[in-house]
A and B are shown apart, each in its own frame.
Chain A
Amino acid sequence: METSTILIVAALLFSIGLAVVVVKRHAIVVLMGVELMLNAANLNLVAFSQYDPDRLQGQMMTLFVLVVAAAEAAVALAIVLQVYRHFRTVQLDEVNELNN
């Protein structure tokens, strides 16, 4: 069954994204993990949306998730850039004070 294959791939992608977010120490790689998790959610929505060809609610939701992901990536990378200017590093374990 094709749909259950896609759902299992999405579950695996979500788990890998979660592991990337927790394991990695570089801020940009953590952002990549968040993108992987968003893609897994999109895959679920699209997999169920092909049985709803008249309204396509899942695909509309996916479209808005894409927009929010683009906005999130832009703002997060701007913040990472400021963190790098201030601390001269983007390793998350070493950014450990609010007031320097």
Chain B
Amino acid sequence: MTVLWPIAVITIKEGIRNRAIYGISLFALLLLGLNLLIANMAAHDVGKVAVDMALSTISFSGLLVVLFVGINLMAKDLDKKTIYMVLSKPISRSEYIIGKFFGIVLILFSTIAFISIFACACLFVLKAGYATYFPQFSWSLVFLGIFFILITLILLSALSFLFSSFSSTSFITLVLTILSYLIGQSLSDIKALIETSRITGAAVSPITIQVVNVAYYLFPNLSFFDIKTQVAHGVSIPVPTILWTVLYGFVYTSLAITAASLIFRKKEFS
């Protein structure tokens, strides 16, 4: 158990010292600067646009970190065989996965925190300048939105671990993770589409309906964590929903990591 911390530490060091994080953070800062400039072009809903852009910047940057730093860290171990240096110690395969996962979670947490500070500063400046156009603004909602984004990214990382455990190249892992992201975001919409087809009278084959229903439970429904619209309009989220959302994120992530561990146990390194 105590072995998890050293694994996490070297993962973090390797990840943070990688130039990619700086590039992504710089990109995020640029987007936030853009937010400062163009948010006021929205005549009435400056508040909405500002929050939209701020949260979207955080979300997108975080996604880049998951895809290009997170997956990369795991890939390097497997491709360049740096994993030998870890597994030759009294560390089990599961401990390796979990330790690495903690490292990536901490990297995500610190990157998101860093970008969020600037995002909130940006919002603060805009709110001060256009106070009348921020009618239903709530800082606690903004933080909740950021928190939910973090959970999404952690969940996505867990999935990337699962894919790494059986993919033969890091490219396949990347593709699968991106696909999961796209499917996760559109799952609710697709289900709604199937349902409204009944109202609008378009025909949907029963096979499609079944497939969508299965996928709805199998893939992560990332839209549960997407409350950008609600935050932008100051609509508060009921506490039970928050609790269920966090629970869902936690459970799905745990299942993904557990599956990753189990599959990784079978992996051989020749």
Q: Are A and B bound to each other? A: no
Name A's B-contacting residues (CB within 8 A): none
